[in-house]
Amino acid sequence: MHGLQPADPPRVGEYVALARLDAARSPRVPPERRYLARGADGERTVLVSLPAPGADPARWAAEARWANQLNQPGFWPVAELGGTAAFPWHASPYQPALPLTAALTAHGGPLPEGAVRAVGAALAETLASAHVLGITHAGVCPAAILLTAYGPLLACFGTVRAAAPEGTPRVGLPGVDQECLAPEHLAGAPVDPRGDVYALGAVLAYAATGHAVPERSEIPAGLRPLVSACLSRDPEDRPEPAHVLAELAPDAAYGTLTATAEPVSLPGRVVAALATQSANALAAELPTHPTEVR
């Protein structure tokens, strides 16, 4: 967790903002503004999200409403919607969660290949399950991956759809991690599951090297062919998420990773960072005069 900045809202709906989830100078710009917040009565702690600065609040709110209706394993839940047309927000009960960007910072660099495989397999399982139902996440990027004690969850649902209407180039738009955006979607094509796979390849590359678009030689040899396939410029050449799962976790049967509560093994420093965040959240106190109400 990180201290609030002058531009941060002291209060969002009934919730008082306590801290930022993302650092003010995050290694990668997060798709949303995310805060640890607590009810004014001090009883309920949540993670509350707002559109990125400059984003279209109406389009962002529409994606939040879709996310609120989903009960999709592996997706960060959107439990509560609120705000106005100009200032929408959504919230979920707090659980310790570390953005993948923060996990690399806590670890002191790229994650070990075993951890990359475990996180990537869980994400591939999540996307495979969603794609079968016709759901495209359209927001996969390192800052949208929240690592929890039981594995990674996909947040920031619909970021790419919210950024601009179909047919509009998505270059330099608020909240969009361009290095994780498939070339066809960067040019304005409708989002589809193949874009999720491209973004997953960028996430794997980032977790393994610290760069979403690294030189091929930087990627560990055991991951190189799979990451390269995911990052293919031709959508038809990208593998299905189930194939990605099989490559990352050959002994895992499809449907086993999200159907159980087996924790994904994370490096010790990342686990320690999650524990520290949890302790800080418990110890955080409501400010005496949270004046601004939205």
User: Taking 50 as the threshold, does the pLDDT of residue 260 lie above it?
Assistant: no
CATH of the domain at 260: 1.10.510.10
Nearest CA to 116 out of 274, 275, 265, 271 is that of 265
Going by pLDDT thresholds of 50, 70 and 90, the confidence category of residue 26 is confident
E strand segments, the chain: 11-12, 15-20, 32-39, 45-51, 80-83, 88-93, 98-99, 145-148, 151-154
Q: Does 71 lie in the same domain as 129?
A: no
Q: Does 124 lie in the same domain as 75?
A: no
User: Does 223 reside within a domain?
Assistant: yes
Report DSSP letters for 166-231, one per residue.
Answer: TTS--TT-TT--GGGS-HHHHTTPPP-HHHHHHHHHHHHHHHHHS-SS--GGGS-TTTHHHHHHHT
Going by pLDDT thresholds of 50, 70 and 90, the confidence category of residue 28 is confident
User: Taking 90 as the threshold, does the pLDDT of residue 85 lie above it?
Assistant: yes
Phi-psi region of 26 (alpha: psi -120 to 50; beta: other; left: phi over 0): beta
In whole angstroms, give the CA distance from residue 132 to residue 153: 18
In whole angstroms, give the CA distance from residue 24 to residue 274: 19
Q: Does 62 lie in the same domain as 15?
A: yes
pTM: predicted TM-score of the whole model, two decimal places: 0.93
pLDDT of 290 reads 52
pLDDT of 252 reads 66
**In terms of C-beta distances under 8 Å and separation of at least 24 residues, what long-range contacts does 115-118 make, across chains too?**
115/207, 115/264, 115/265, 115/266, 115/267, 115/270, 116/204, 116/207, 116/208, 116/220, 116/223, 117/223, 117/248, 117/249, 118/248, 118/249, 118/264, 118/265, 118/266
Give how many domains the chain has, as a whole number: 2
Across 8-37, average pLDDT: 91
Choose the weakest-confidence range: 148-152, 245-249, 276-280, 286-290.
286-290
User: Taking 80 as the threshold, does the pLDDT of residue 80 lie above it?
Assistant: yes
What percent of the chain shows pLDDT beyond 90?
Answer: 83
In whole angstroms, give the CA distance from residue 141 to residue 124: 13
Q: Does 197 lie in the same domain as 103?
A: yes
Q: Does 15 lie in the same domain as 81?
A: yes
Q: Does 65 lie in the same domain as 21?
A: yes
The parent domain of residue 50 ranges over: 11-95+271-283
Choose the weakest-confidence range: 91-100, 211-220, 225-234, 252-261.
252-261
- Residues 35-59: tens digit of each pLDDT: 999 998 888 999 999 999 999 999 9
Going by pLDDT thresholds of 50, 70 and 90, the confidence category of residue 292 is very low
Going by pLDDT thresholds of 50, 70 and 90, the confidence category of residue 251 is confident
